[in-house]
Amino acid sequence: MSNKPENSAPMINRLVIIGLGLIGSSLAVAAKEQGLAKTVIGISRRTSTLELALESGIIDRACQSLESVASELDKGDLVVIGVPTLTVPSVIADCHQHLKDKVTITDVASVKGSIVKAAADIYGKLPNQFVPGHPIAGSEKSGVEAADSQLFKDHRVILTPHGADHCEHLRLVSTLWSNVGAIVSTMSVEEHDAILAATSHLPHFLAYSLVDTLASVGDNREIFRYAAGGFRDFTRIAASDPVMWRDIALANRESILSILDQVMDNFKTLRGAIDQGDEDYLMDVFTRARDARNHFGKLLENKALQGPMTEKKINYRVSPGGDASGSVRVPGDKSMSHRSIMLGSLAIGMTEVTGFLEGEDSLATLQAFRDMGVIIEGPEQGRVVIHGVGLHGLKAPAKPLYMGNSGTSIRLLSGLLAGQAFDTELTGDISLSGRPMGRVADPLRSMGAVIGTSPNGTPPLKITGGQRLSSIEYLMPVASAQVKSCVLLAGLYADGTTSVTEPAPTRDHTERMLRGFGYTVNVDQSTANLTGGGALSATRIDVPADISSAAFFMVAAAITPDSDIILPHVGINPTRIGVINILRQMGAQLSLSNEREVGGEPVADIRIQYGELKGIEIPVDQVPLAIDEFPVLFIAAACAEGTTILTGAEELRVKESDRIQSMADGLVTLGIDAQATADGIVIVGGELGGGRVLSHHDHRIAMAFAIAGLRAKGEITVEGCNNVATSFPDFINSAAAIGLKIQVETHHD
Ligand code: S3P
């Protein structure tokens, strides 16, 4: 999408493009289409190219040399050098000779080190007016005939600016690229060249080399005749422009040699493994590579090179009204998905998981175990196969384990990592980095673990391995399933029997699933215990739909007249059904059918219809049972008649965001009387208006306000909804299926 305000004057006076190859001519046509320059001037030595470019309207004016137009150029004019990499220095020399220092210059070469060096040599020092650039776009086609105005759309352009002095030049180049649809990022020249050597240059040389090898084999016609999809996929880029790639090979020599050496070493080892029939090695390499490809698949499909600087921000624009009817199978339970990977990895044998939640949180757990050497196949449509390594089979990860946004990952993992022979470090995103970890570090330390946190008790967690853990009897000060699970998982590695007593019932998936893996866990009222030193044996796990995700659609139906929603196969573990109890008490019509037990967990289909809701005092004993569902329950409260009062829920203040404050602020913005208290909230039901609310990067806040749209009088914009992907990646489609009208807007920050 163009950032240029409609009807505004072109931002560039004259856009001069030297070299009308694929990139140059595509930039010319894109700039013309967007009205970004008063005049687009094309420079090429070939008259036929210029004629074609003029005829097809790609440029306004044609010139055969820079010299012929240089005297006209001044501040606000932009010269783009689009010639092959090895020719760029001679064009820079022309620029030096003919251009005023007010004229902005950029280039599009795939290598930056040699270009920057040439510019510095020619000018004496790198000139402020020069902003080196590289659009990561192209195709195996070349020339002005292939010009494509969409070529840069959603593709990354890397600029390697070299100082603060050339701000206005940088701004001009950066705005040009973003206006033709590109995602602009900046990095150092060295970083650029190393990254591109690995991700772009190497694949091209491999493709050229493979095709050339096969082409020189005796009867190569036969080989090519039978070459199928794999060959075609792998070698498409061997049809690229040889001049361009010769230039790149020579211009980025050092970085390319370094990555080629690594690949050649790996080739040698692979050859050895094939020669020796080393099945394990082959299986390891192929699985690791396939998993990495799948893991990065989303990024690769995005076509662009990703980086945190240019992460797109997602907002929801929720239109007022809409139906709430239909049947939706919400994704797999997050708590159980985490635990299935953890226990499956520590078990002996292969565990098959179905219904696994492919959300960012559970994928963070999955990735952590891969980083510790566990082979995990999938996920593919919710199916994961874990090649368990046993309680003592994990390997030291090469780098800190990144837990993203996920409190469950970091807290549960800290327990089982405290018992390992190796050191680990656990890190997370900005939200996780502010969450309290003392609650797990304290009991672990009293078991003998050595575990460091930041001075205020938050991540990163640094766990020193090789400690002998001893069992404890732990009375938990907070009702937290994460703490309980952490201590029990550490207990697997401790001498003796570890017991945990909770002040109120919390979700018991760890206890149930450990039993499913054949490990004895005794539960007596509020105390669970287990004895260390046993073993887990692999099993099959069918993860039911997550009641915490279902809750959004339960409230959707509860607040929308004439609604009727069915949510099949939802987990209704008694420690999770606070949302059902609370909604029923408020007057919602809710029924369960097809109740059954799947792999030790109760499951049912839930049907919910509109009911006139009334405000209630939420019973304190329901708080731990509905701990994740409060954001959306507050929306129900806002639509209810009368006042809803929540107390005893201070835990909500330390979730992915301070959920009491986040919700109170958003509700007030929408015109509801909502008052945060130290341990809860008081909400007076009323008319919901439209407005702009913040999700505070909290998935459940974002989805809760999206549901509010069903009863709002105006449009609601929810800012910062990226983290919905942590627990409910397909939320938008599921919401649309029941009749919500949500538009997703993406912005580059
Ligand atoms: C979870 C426990 C709860 C819950 C979280 C998942 C778990 O956290 O809020 O979303 O899977 O054990 P606390 O243990 O901090 O209450």
CATH of the domain at 711: 3.65.10.10
Number of domains observed in the structure of the chain: 4
Distance 652 CA to ligand 1 centre (A): 11
The three-state (H, E, C) secondary structure of 305-320, written as one string: CCCHHHCEEEEEEECC
How far apart CA 378 and CA 278 sit, in angstroms, is 23
Residue 98 within a domain: yes
With beta carbons less than 8 A apart as the criterion, state whether 336 and 575 touch: no
Note whether 367 and 511 are same-domain residues: yes
Peptide bond into 460 cis (omega under 30): yes
Residue 543 inside a domain? The answer is no
Q: How far is the CA of 481 from the centre of ligand 1 (A)?
A: 6
CATH number at residue 111: 3.40.50.720
The answer on 520 and 372 residing in a single domain is: yes
Residue 52 shares a structural domain with residue 153: yes
Q: Is 310 exposed, middle or buried (0-12, 13-18, 19+ CB in 10 A)?
A: middle
Determine, yes or no, domain membership for 437. yes
| One domain, residues 692 and 710 | yes
The residue segments making up the domain with residue 624 are: 313-325+549-557+575-587+607-748
With respect to residue 91, please indicate whether it lies within any of the assigned structural domains: yes
* 564-571 vs 601-609, strand pairing mode: antiparallel
Residues 456 and 580 reside in one and the same domain: no
Nearest-5° Cα angle at 358, 356 to 362 = 80
Kindly state whether residues 49 and 181 are assigned to the same domain.
yes
pLDDT of residue 5: 42
Q: Which residues, judged by CB distance below 6 Å to any ligand atom, belong to the binding site of ligand 1?
A: 335, 408, 480-482, 485, 507, 627-628, 651
Could you tell me if residue 459 is inside a domain? yes
Q: Which of 141, 168, 187 is the last residue of a domain?
A: 187
Q: String of b and e for 561-589 (b: at least 16 CB within 10 Å)?
A: eebbbbbbbbbbbebbbbbbbbbbebbbb
Give every residue of the chain whose pLDDT is below 50, as ranges: 1-7, 299, 301-310
628 catalytic per annotation: yes
Please identify which of the residues 107, 628, 658, 698 carries the catalytic annotation: 628
Residue 39 sits at φ, ψ, to 5 deg, of: -135, 135
- Regarding whether 478 and 363 lie in a shared domain, the answer is yes
Residue 564 in any domain: the answer is no
Answer yes or no: do 18 and 152 share one domain: yes
What pLDDT, on the 0 to 100 scale, is given for residue 228?
66
105 sits in which H/E element: strand 104-107
Report which of 133, 207, 118 is spatially closest to residue 170, judged by C-alpha positions. 133
Question: Do 172 and 233 share a structural domain?
Answer: no
On whether the CB atoms of residues 373 and 395 are closer than 8 A, the answer is yes
- CATH code, domain with 212: 1.10.3660.10
Residue 243's pLDDT is 86
Distance 358 CA to ligand 1 centre (A): 18
Ligand 1 atom closest to the CA of 548, numbered from 1: 10
Closest residue CA from atom 13 of ligand 1: 480
Ligand 1, residue 412: give the atom nearest the CA: 12
293 three-state secondary structure:
helix
What secondary structure, in 3-state letters, does 415-461 show? HHHHCCCCCEEEECCCCHHHCCCHHHHHHHHHCCCEEECCCCCCCCE
Task: For residue range 579-629, list pLDDT tens digits in order.
Answer: 999 999 999 999 999 999 998 999 999 999 999 999 999 999 999 999 999
Any domain includes 598 = no
Mark whether 507 and 650 lie in a shared domain: no
Confirm whether 595 is domain-assigned.
no
In the reported structure, the alpha carbon of residue 315 is separated from the centroid of ligand 1 by a whole-number distance in angstroms of 26
Residue pair 663/704 in contact (Cβ under 8 Å)? The answer is yes
Instruction: Give the burial class of 735: count Cβ atoms within 10 A of its Cβ; 0-12 exposed, 13-18 middle, 19 or more buried.
Output: buried
Q: Which of 335, 338, 440, 485 to mutate for ligand 1's pocket (most ligand atoms within 8 Å of CB)?
A: 335
The alpha carbon of residue 188 and the mean position of all alpha carbons in its chain are separated, in whole angstroms, by: 24
Per-residue pLDDT at 235: 85
- pLDDT score for 302: 40
Do 126 and 257 fall into the same domain?
no
Specify whether 342 is located in the same domain as 489.
Answer: yes
Of ligand 1's atoms, which has the minimum distance to the CA of residue 439? Answer: 15
